[in-house]
Amino acid sequence: MSRALVIGEALIDIVERDGQVSGEYVGGSPLNVAVGLGRLGRPVDFWTHIGDDPRGHRIADYVTASGARLVPAGTTAARTSTARVTLAEDGSAAYAFDIDWQLPGSSTVPPPLLVHTGSIAAALDPGCLAVAALIDAYRISATVTLDPNVRPGLLPDPVLGRERIEHLVERSDVVKVSDEDLRWIDPDRSAERIARSWLASGPSIVAVTLGERGAFAVCAAGTARVAARPVAVVDTVGAGDAFMVGLIDALWQHGLLGADRRGDLERISLDALTAALEIANLSAALTVARAGADLPDRAARDAAARRE
């Protein structure tokens, strides 16, 4: 029980800037988390839904090159999904998806130390139902981490989408969410009020990213805050995923993962949480300084930390 399991979508991002396609890139929020952990040297399995086609082969090669391992049951889709990504002048991204999210077959993955999910996988039928069942099964052994990473355009029933997110929040130990997502989930309450409400429902940590205003996280000990790092932004694709990876890695480093460490995670100190947020922030800063969701490996991140 020493590996992470990431469950969720993988797809090809078709990136447009100024009305022109600038390239196709491997993408998907859960995929980025799996690849990011793999690049940091963490043992990780990735359960997704891709096809036996050129785009699916590209995704498979990309995942395995990072050091992550594909779960064989996830390579039987009729086609590999895509997302058309339109980049604005400030580097922000808008998405239009062509995706079929299912989770057929059964996993042969042994009980993991950590299980992560989120984004499309957590809210889109029919696969989201299987994801929720797997979270319930795996949390007996594992720390559960979640990034809702909401895609409103894929949710025909917003009320049901919010209910599904809140159910997973209650079953999670660590939740990372953007302030933009929170404005969609609950536009009538502040990010900090929602974070506190979520904390009371089950998680040990709720972290909120605020873009250029940095990030904060709440835990039983109080609220930790970090400022945004100065960086020349190329684009913001993968920034939240990099933050999630950095946060998971920091908690892993401190021996706070696994169901048997749930009590220790609940008692995390503000100093330890702040240090974890700083690592997460650095991971995100390195990612937005590159084109696409190009998350750093450990050597690059450690080198950046030494320069400070």
Q: What is the pLDDT of residues 105-161, one digit of tens each?
A: 666 788 999 999 999 999 999 999 999 999 999 999 999 999 999 988 888 889 999
For the chain, the structural domain boundaries read 4-306
- Residue percentage of the chain with pLDDT more than 90: 72
Number of Cβ atoms within 10 Å of the Cβ of 185: 20
Mean pLDDT across 179-193: 96
Per residue in 263-294, pLDDT (tens digit) is: 999 999 999 999 999 999 999 999 988 877 88
Residue 170 corresponds to which tokens in the numbers above? 């209650």
Is pLDDT above 90 for 167?
yes
The DSSP element (H or E) to which 26 belongs, if any, is strand 20-27
| pLDDT value of position 298 | 94
The DSSP element (H or E) to which 206 belongs, if any, is strand 205-209
Residue type, 197: S
| pLDDT value of position 66 | 97
| pLDDT value of position 74 | 87
Q: Which residue has the higher pLDDT, 194 or 74?
A: 194
The DSSP element (H or E) to which 184 belongs, if any, is helix 179-185
Among the residue ranges 4-13, 58-67, 86-95, the one predicted with the least confidence is: 86-95
Is pLDDT above 90 for 258?
yes
CA of residue 274 relative to chain centroid, distance: 19
Number of Cβ atoms within 10 Å of the Cβ of 164: 21
* Domain 4-306, architecture per CATH: 3-Layer(aba) Sandwich (3.40)
**Contact status, residue 30 vs residue 103, Cβ threshold 8 Å:** no
Per residue in 228-247, pLDDT (tens digit) is: 888 888 777 789 999 999 99
**Cα–Cα distance measured from residue 239 to residue 31, given in angstroms and rounded to the nearest whole number:** 13
Is pLDDT above 70 for 1?
no
From residue 191, how far is each of 176, 218, 302 by CA, in Å?
A: 12, 11, 31
Q: Which residue has the higher pLDDT, 304 or 33?
A: 33
